[in-house]
Amino acid sequence: MNSQIPKQYLKIGSMTILEHTVDKLLTHPKIDRVIVVINSNDNLFNKLPIATNDKISVTLGGQTRAASVLAGLKLLHSEQWALVHDAARPCIDHHDINRLIEAVMNAKRGGILAMRISDTVKRSYQDNDSIIEHSEDRTHLWGAATPQLFKVDELKFCLQKALNDNVAITDEASAIEYCGGHPLLVECRRDNIKITRSEDIALATFYIKNQISKR
């Protein structure tokens, strides 16, 4: 995104993307507290109204996603469960969070929200990324989303192990997989988008307005 402002501080209506996201978590009855992990150069969060909320704790992140999540987990007790969510997913729905929590608690194993791949998936050649090599079978392919829910002690161990071994971790589930785990896949709504491009702002705005109108 061509913006000098970090994307989580861009506005949708009168609130930043981050405020929309955090509000969804703060208003969920099963979430006790929210830990916001910020960049060491962040001078914007403390200016937001939510910065003074008693349920919010703030800590500094690291150079990678894994290091940042690990920093947040250090503020939690080992026996707790951690619901890790992307700041850039402001359209998360309470019903999806409920379904994830219920599935994880019933199965006694961690899990993630995800979406089945509906588009035809093409693999390009390694030496020419603009030419199709072949189509992939999408039958068992999912797009990982967040929140992702895991026991704090298990996730801390796996993230630290991956960091120690210099393994690239793209989400929390991949850290659990690296340790031999097999997290649950819980299908979520397709409006749980991650804002990565400028055009995503308009789509997220539409989804959020639609959600508000149905309250």
Q: Is residue 1 domain-resident?
A: no
Q: Is residue 176 domain-resident?
A: yes
Q: Is residue 139 domain-resident?
A: yes
Angle between helices 152-164 and 65-73 (to 10 degrees): 140
Q: Is residue 2 domain-resident?
A: no
* 76-130: pLDDT as tens digits: 999 999 999 999 999 999 999 999 999 999 999 999 999 999 999 999 999 999 9
What's the pLDDT score for residue 205?
97
Written as six digits, the tokens of 199 are 């055009």
Beta bridge partners of 142: 116
What's the pLDDT score for residue 2?
59
What's the pLDDT score for residue 180?
98
Q: What is the three-class DSSP state of 63?
A: coil
Confidence of residue 13 (pLDDT cuts 50, 70, 90): very high
Beta bridge partners of 132: 124
What's the pLDDT score for residue 214?
82
User: Residue 198 belongs to a domain with what CATH number?
Assistant: 3.90.550.10
Q: Is residue 73 domain-resident?
A: yes
Q: Is residue 85 domain-resident?
A: yes
Residue type, 127: D
CA distances from 6 to 58, 157, 184, 208 (A): 17, 30, 31, 20
Mean pLDDT across the chain: 96
Q: Is residue 107 domain-resident?
A: yes
Instruction: Count structural domains, the chain.
Output: 1
Residue 215 pLDDT > 80:
no
Q: Is residue 59 domain-resident?
A: yes
The pLDDT of 48-57, averaged and rounded, is 98
Calpha distance 200→208 (Å, rounded): 12
* 193-213: pLDDT as tens digits: 999 999 999 999 999 999 988
Residue 167 pLDDT > 80:
yes
Domain that holds residue 158: 7-213
What's the pLDDT score for residue 1?
67
Residue 3 pLDDT > 90:
no
Cβ–Cβ under 8 Å, residues 7 and 88: yes
